Chain A
Amino acid sequence: MAADIKPRIRVPQTAKKDEIIEIKTLISHPMESGQRKDSQGKIIPRKIINKMTVAFNGKPVFEAKLEPSISANPYLSFFLKCSASGNLDFTWTDDDGSVYKATQAITVA
């Protein structure tokens, strides 16, 4: 199951100093809401990405707590003001405890 969960991020690789850039993220994940039933009428247990955290050079800059109301393959976008070059680290946390990660370097000219 975990094999088909794949994070995708779209971050500009370079930015001008203090430019505000848009960060787009998507992780392929069913976001099983815990509301649906299978063909036998049994409730399919909830399994969602419940949290995404983003850190820039180790410092947390953005965090999202997600509920079952979020669509499958959760897409999130937000903004970041680039004051210096560095690494942007993304972490998604699954209900089952799995953690998915992605990293992107940004060069500030």
Chain B
Amino acid sequence: MNLTGLLLVTIAQFLSGSGIVRLFRLQIGAIANICLSMIVGIFFISLAPAMLQLAHIPITGSNTAIAVAVITALCSIPLVVMFRKPNFSGFALPELYEIPFLLVFLAFFITSAFRCYYFPPTPRDVLAGGELLAEFTIREKTMLNSVFSIDLHTTNNHFKSPYITCLQVVYKLFVSPFGGVWLTAIFVPFTWWLYTILKERVHGLVACTLLLMYFCIPDAFAYSYIILYDYSNMIFYFTGFYFLMQYQTHQRRNDFAFSILLFGIATYIRVETLVLVSLAALMPAYTQFKAKQPIKDIIVNGLLLMAGPVFFYVLCMNIFIPNFVPVKMDTAAQINHNMSDISVFFTRISAINNDLILSDKGLLVYGYFFYYFIAILLADLVLIRKFNKEARMALYGIAVVYFGLALLGYLLPLFDVMNTTKRGLFKLLPLILMYYANSGIVTRISDFLKAREARSKQAAEPALAGTRPAPRPATKK
């Protein structure tokens, strides 16, 4: 592995992301700032080979390095214009009881990072798609390469977003022969950020337990080192939804604008996310409607929320793919031609439940994660019967993904259950964590721990004061 290359690409990723995050003036802590910068930065780095291709410049190592440098410089402008001293107040040492968990998480991180670096990409979808294109882009210095002269009738993966192709190009050129390491560069910050948002809501011990449950989802962990679109899509979709929730709670327009960007990137990675975003957009519309805001404002808000994803959809489908793929895509052929038969939608819901979530296969894929969710939701419904605003929004987000994936199965017959929907359900996982962090049962346990900890602290303070050495009596001269 080229460690210098990794360091430079990571710095470029951080600076690009940092500049974009600064642009939105988000009210977030220092750790969240670092993590979100890394997450957002990866997308902007991925644009480098795409820009070279659009400009008909050969995709060589030096040209790509210049493109990455230019993108970094452009994205960093807000860092210079809106300069402020770094704020390290958000950093705090972990509590003693968090350390055993953090050691386990570190073991997960190391395992995932090593496999990302060590193993070549394996999924058929990337070997016959993004990875294949990236490999021959590097060999032939153009994305319009000899891959398009071979028989591609068995695959449609070359029509997918250039996100993976471009990142593989950058990382193969500068970091490691199999690329791949970029996945670690977003998996670690995303999980760290998840931990911080959980800790803002519940006691550290509870946050660690919830995150342990998340780490132990077999397929979600596997896709933290197996290159595919879905893990990145989950990260950007959830982050977008989180900032939409923040906007709903605090009514800060910056959170709203940031969520538009994140939903846009999620759509760029998997274009069908547009359908999920349009369903998610009903949440602020409903809130505004309840607050009796003018219909015009509700429509403008909805249009703004959709503008980002539509822009990125157009960028991917109408600018990048036609310029990078010299083969025509028959989009119409991929759409369900029998829309009047809505039974497909209900069949799909039944398949999601019976073949995925509640099946033996589902157990191998998601572990008991969905069973925990059903148990906690039922316990909240029966015992607590109260849901705070964030819990309600998280539940809405869960419903959007659940029904949205069934809707996509109805609209696009190629959107199968055992592969595409299976991985699409990853988007539920952080939303479920968000629900846990607001669940009545979980917050009661958390409040109990917080209260006991506070009492123990109070009790320790006078005791500590008693052990302090008495002030020395003044000596007479």
A and B physically associate: no
Report which B residues bind A (CB closer than 8 A): none
